[in-house]
Amino acid sequence: MTANGDSVVVTGALGGAGRWVVDRLVDGGYDVVGLDRRLPEGDVPAGADFFAVDLTDGGETAELVADAAPDAVVHLAAIPDPLNHAGSRVFENNVLSTYAVLDAAGRAGARVVWASSESAYGFPFADSVLEPEYLPIDEAHPLRPEDPYGASKVAGEAVAAMVARRDGVPVASIRPSWIQYPGRYRVADVRAAFDLDDLADAPDGAPDAEGVGNFWSYVDVRDFAGMVKAALRADLDGHEPYLCHAPENYLGVETARLFEALYDDGPDASALEGEASAFTTAKAERDLSWSAEHDWRTAEDEAVDGPEFR
């Protein structure tokens, strides 16, 4: 699939990551139809049209996707965490919207790329620190969420697999880490507050240790947008999940030391060399020819012009 003349529907097009994805796709020659709860403000890039929609309304969603007749659908819209909303609202919104969007995409014969999450594994929002079954964590690791956000992503991946089977379209479920934005990396605050001795002194499985929820992983928004674009071009068959992480942790500490401090008798971390991420992106590197290009040491204070619309 080439970008020339291809059309893509992007949901959540005005979200933090969505705006970067729209910019990347427009720059790559795609015609973009952006869907969100409202219309944009600011200078909209040429090659992008926007529509306001309630994505939990299957009728509205199906109508707009059918009218766009896209080659592909990128589904990014979601309530991103369970911390500031009722859990029932998070789960209902995310599952209904994912079903409506992916169902409409499949019926339109459009390939799908959508944002699942590393939260599907259950680590970020668990009441206590869950222990990985093995390291590094890959796409085959069991999904064990204990929160409505992670559970909504597991349900979404089930819908993704359904659509791929039923409609014969390729569906890529991207599982991004904590997305960071150049010049304003929020992980800097976690690093500033981090103390390895405090981590070692905390009770095994303590839920309040800084950054433990995703084992100090992150990804730059530009790398996330790059994986979306790579998945749109890749030769995929059926439903495939892909982790989307920077190759290193954001603390500047050897990862094996972090796991040794975190657990009295934890998973074997000997395969993690130096500051390597606890999550491996080997599958994305193989299937999508993708690898992260940005790291916290250079991007944290980097001055980059982002999308002009919001």
3-state DSSP assignment of residue 131: coil
Backbone angles phi, psi at 258, to 5 degrees: -65, -45
How crowded is residue 266: how many other Cβ atoms within 10 Å of its Cβ? 16
d(CA 106, CA 168): 8
d(CA 100, CA 108): 12
Cα–chain-centroid distance for residue 11?
13
Residue 52 and residue 37 in contact, taking contact as beta carbons nearer than 8 Å: yes
3-state DSSP assignment of residue 153: helix
Give the Å distances, CA to CA, from 22 to 14, 169, 302. Answer: 9, 22, 21
Residue among 30, 99, 121, 149 flagged as catalytic? 149
Cα–chain-centroid distance for residue 151?
14
Give, for 112, the enclosing helix (H) or strand (E): strand 111-115
Task: Reply yes or no on whether 149 is catalytic.
Answer: yes
Give the residue numbers annotated as catalytic, written as ranges.
149
